[in-house]
Amino acid sequence: MITIIEATTKKQITDYVKFPFTLYKNNPYWVPPLIADELETFDKTKNPAFENAEAYFYLAYKDNKIVGRIAAIINWDEVNNQQKKKVRFGWWDVIDDVEVTKALLEKVYELGKKNKLEHVEGPIGFSNLDKVGVVTEGFDYKGSMITWYNFPYYKDHLEKLGFTKEKEYFESTFSFSNVDATPYIKASELIGRRYGLRAITFTKTKDIIPYVDEMFDLFNASYAKLASFVAIPEKQKEYFKKKYIPFVNPEYIIFIVDANNKLIAFSIVMPNFADALQKAKGSLFPFGFYHLLQAKKHSKEVLFYLIGIDPEYQNKGVTAIIFKQYYKVFKEKGITKCIRTPELEENNAIHNLWKNFDPKVDRKRRTYRKEL
């Protein structure tokens, strides 16, 4: 018999966060999150996402053991401002038993129907800066700190229960050592002169902070035309600023400004923390912090986390200026591999940015939809 309970107590939420650690124990491709970060994500007093969204967290039990979890989410900005009558599900993990998945999803359906919503989509988080998608190809590649991993049967469960593909995402890599920077260096000089653009680089994290709000405004403008995009509100900007900026080497953040010092492009690259997080096993103590610090200083792989370009400049070669700066930094640090995080299949502007780097698609993932 399958029993579903809503996780509301501190212990239940902790069990909810820790369940994947049991499910994926010894899996070489799963990258565990930091438990403290996950607990904060689900804390309505700490995560400003709850100002514009509501979420309920459910655990599935069978034979007195936890066998699955799911979050049922409504992003009210999406529902009210974009008129998308959608209930989301995310943070979904389950044993290979479709009946457990079915029982968990019933809770998502209940929330959607109660609020007169029209369809379900998932797995997705509260916003576009959360993790997204079920892995459908590329199960034998290690994940990252900003992606979910799952077993192949997740896709099968959803399709057996009547879900259909909604959005497709690609993850790819390219070798930095194979990149010929000469064309980008020449192009960056030409484009910089033509449009009066210059790069701003950093050596200290504190110097980045004054630009971050403007960066998020540009992020919202850059992706506004994508059908799936929900803008990042003010309080979430502050939250993500505190949560992610400390993980980024300051030299890995590049801003491009015009002649009036207006921000027209930005890029954030992170060290690849996957190995360090696997060693940390969900905790900063006693040795997790050391592993993360070592990765921040010495990782030879980088993760392209966010990039945004003002729509007015998206076809003007601005990425040449960005890459010229990265080329210098990556050379100094001995970077060998560049990893691109999930990008929508329909986001041709992003795909075109990287087409000359000979990227290889390592993994595909998708969200699924079902009418209520």
Quick: pLDDT tens for 331-348: 999 999 999 889 888 877
Query: What's the rounded mean pLDDT across residues 324-337?
Result: 92
Last residue of a domain, one of 170, 187, 221: 170
Between CA 194 and CA 211 the distance in angstroms is 24
Do 160 and 183 have their domain in common? no
Residue 311 clears pLDDT 70, i.e. is over it = yes
Of the ranges 179-188, 253-262, 353-362, which is most confident? Answer: 253-262
Q: Where are the beta strands (DSSP E) in the chain?
A: 2-6, 53-62, 65-75, 86-94, 119-122, 134-137, 164-175, 198-200, 253-257, 263-271, 301-309, 337-344, 360-371
Give Dmax over CA atoms of the chain in angstroms: 69
pLDDT score for 211: 85
Coil, strand or helix at 247: helix
Residue 368 forms part of a structural domain? no
Task: Output the pTM of the full model.
Answer: 0.92
pLDDT at 231: 74
Q: Among 137, 170, 203, which residue terminates a domain?
A: 170
Q: Which residues contact 5 (CB under 8 A, 6 or more apart)?
A: 12, 58, 59, 61
Based on the fold, state whether residues 119 and 158 are members of the same structural domain: yes
At 228 the pLDDT is 64
If phi over 0 gives left and psi between -120 and 50 gives alpha, with beta otherwise, what is residue 64? left
Q: CB atoms < 10 A from the CB of 241, how many? A: 16
| pLDDT beyond 80 at 141 | yes
Residues whose CB is less than 8 angstroms from the CB of residue 223 and which lie 6 or more positions away in sequence, other chains included: 128, 229, 308
The predicted pLDDT at position 239 comes to 81
Residues pairing with 250 in the sheet: none
pLDDT of residue 227: 64
Mean pLDDT of 59-65: 96
Residues 149 and 183 in one domain: no
Average pLDDT over residues 122-151: 94
Q: What is the CATH classification number for the domain harbouring 185?
A: 3.40.630.30
Q: Quick count: other Cβ atoms within 10 Å of Cβ 242? A: 10
Q: What is the 3-state secondary structure (H, E, C) of 169-215?
A: EEEEEEEHHHCCCHHHHHHHHHHHHHHCCEEECCCCHHHCHHHHHHH
- Point out the domain boundary residue: 131, 155, 170: 170
In tens, the pLDDT along 130-140 reads: 999 999 999 99
Q: Which domain holds residue 17?
A: 2-170
Q: What average pLDDT does range 181-191 have in this prediction?
A: 87
Quick one: 198 and 144 in the same domain?
Answer: no
Q: Are residues 163 and 257 in the same domain?
A: no
Is the domain of 117 the same as that of 221? no
The answer to whether the CB of 293 falls within 8 A of the CB of 260 is: no
- 202 CB contacts (<8 Å, ≥6 apart)? 208, 250, 251, 253
> What share of the chain has pLDDT > 90, as a percent?
71
Number of domains comprising the chain: 2
Residue 253 CA to residue 326 CA, distance in Å, equals 9
pLDDT beyond 90 at 15:
yes
Residue-level pLDDT at 247: 77
- Answer for the pair 57, 71: CB distance below 8 angstroms, yes or no: yes
CA 170 to CA 311: how far, in whole Å? 22
Confidence of residue 353 (pLDDT cuts 50, 70, 90): low
Question: Using one digit for the tens of pLDDT, what is the confidence trace for 187-243?
Answer: 899 999 999 999 999 999 888 888 888 998 998 888 777 666 777 777 787 787 777
**Nearest in space to 142 (alpha carbons), one of 40, 22, 255, 273:** 273
pLDDT of residue 99: 98
**What kind and span of H or E run contains 292?**
helix 288-298
Residues 230, 342 within the same domain: yes
What the block records as the tokens of 124 is: 């997705």
Q: What is the mean pLDDT of the chain?
A: 92
